Amino acid sequence: GAVVSQHPSRVICKSGTSVKIECRSLDFQATTMFWYRQFPKQSLMLMATSNEGSKATYEQGVEKDKFLINHASLTLSTLTVTSAHPEDSSFYICSAEGASYNEQFFGPGTRLTVL
Amino acid sequence: DAKTTQPNSMESNEEEPVHLPCNHSTISGTDYIHWYRQLPSQGPEYVIHGLTSNVNNRMASLAIAEDRKSSTLILHRATLRDAAVYYCILRDNSESGGYQKVTFGTGTKLQVIP
């Protein structure tokens, strides 16, 4: 199966700083990437969908100016949490979909802790 | 909103078969049934998917009801490594050139007892 990586796997930052999370498709070209957030003991919540070279589509209630998404190439998407606060602490997961696949492949997730 | 309904939790003894049910009464004709599982502190992992016929792969089997309003994921011999949250998801794979958002429900937390 296709492989998706995320970096970093874990990050701790101070309140007010910005954090960038990378999502890469390692062995296929991802036409679409998705970003999810998961709070403890809850299910995954879709935050936004990004297509290579175009602006991301955000789900209702997700602040686009706070969660900046860049999908600059067919193998890389980044999520930047700007001016992070403790309530942004969560498990962030990306997934990627290629033109030849009928399923999404998920990354291992990034644990963000904002102090 | 999630379009599937699953029990919150289930238990199984190690090395015994496990049947994880999923109801999807509003499924459309072009919806595929996908199953993913999520181990603690990891991203979801693809398990299996199907449309109408039962499907088998090295991980599991998928039994789909004739009316497609329900399905069952079958793990033939549960191991401790199968302890995870299992998500049943509907996805319309018929669209060409576009993407399909996936909505996760609460899933079923499977506990495997040694």
pLDDT tens readout for residues A42-56: 999 999 999 888 889
> How many Å lie between the alpha carbon of A23 and the closest alpha carbon of chain B?
12
Q: Collect all residues of chain A within an 8 Å Cβ-Cβ radius of residue B34.
A: 103
- Provide the pairing of β-strand A110-114 with A90-98: antiparallel
Q: With cut-offs at 50, 70 and 90, classify the pLDDT of residue B99.
A: low
User: Distances in Å between the alpha carbon of A92 and those of A20, A33, A36, A102, B41?
Assistant: 11, 13, 6, 23, 11
Rounded Cα distance, B26 and B107, in Å:
17
Q: Which residues contact B97 (CB under 8 A, 6 or more apart)?
A: none
Judging by beta carbons within 10 Å of its beta carbon (0-12, 13-18, 19+), is residue A112 exposed, middle or buried? buried
> Which of B32, B93, B104 is nearest residue A44 as measured by Cβ atoms?
B104
Share of chain B above pLDDT 90, in %: 77
Q: Collect all residues of chain A within an 8 Å Cβ-Cβ radius of residue B93.
A: 102
Mean pLDDT, all residues of chain B: 91
Task: Say if CB A101 and CB A115 are below 8 A apart.
Answer: no
Kindly report the number of other CB atoms within 10 A of residue B57's CB atom. 11
At B81, is the secondary structure helix, strand, or coil?
helix
- Answer yes or no: is pLDDT of B98 > 90: no
Q: Collect all residues of chain B within an 8 Å Cβ-Cβ radius of residue A31.
A: 99
Give the pLDDT confidence score for residue A68 in this predicted structure.
95
User: Is A106 close to B34, i.e. CB distance below 8 A?
Assistant: no
Identify the residue with better confidence: A74 or B97.
A74
> How many Å lie between the alpha carbon of B15 and the closest alpha carbon of chain A?
26
Q: Collect all residues of chain A within an 8 Å Cβ-Cβ radius of residue B55.
A: none
> Which of A32, A49, A103 is nearest residue B46 as measured by Cβ atoms?
A103
- Answer yes or no: is pLDDT of A7 > 60: yes
> How many Å lie between the alpha carbon of B24 and the closest alpha carbon of chain A?
18
Give the pLDDT confidence score for residue B103 in this predicted structure.
82
Task: Say if CB A95 and CB A84 are below 8 A apart.
Answer: no
Instruction: Decide if B30 touches A, using CB distance below 8 A.
Output: no
Rounded Cα distance, B29 and A25, in Å:
31
pLDDT tens readout for residues B14-52: 999 999 999 999 998 888 999 999 999 999 999 999 999
User: Distances in Å between the alpha carbon of A93 and those of A47, A56, A77, A110, B1?
Assistant: 10, 16, 12, 6, 20
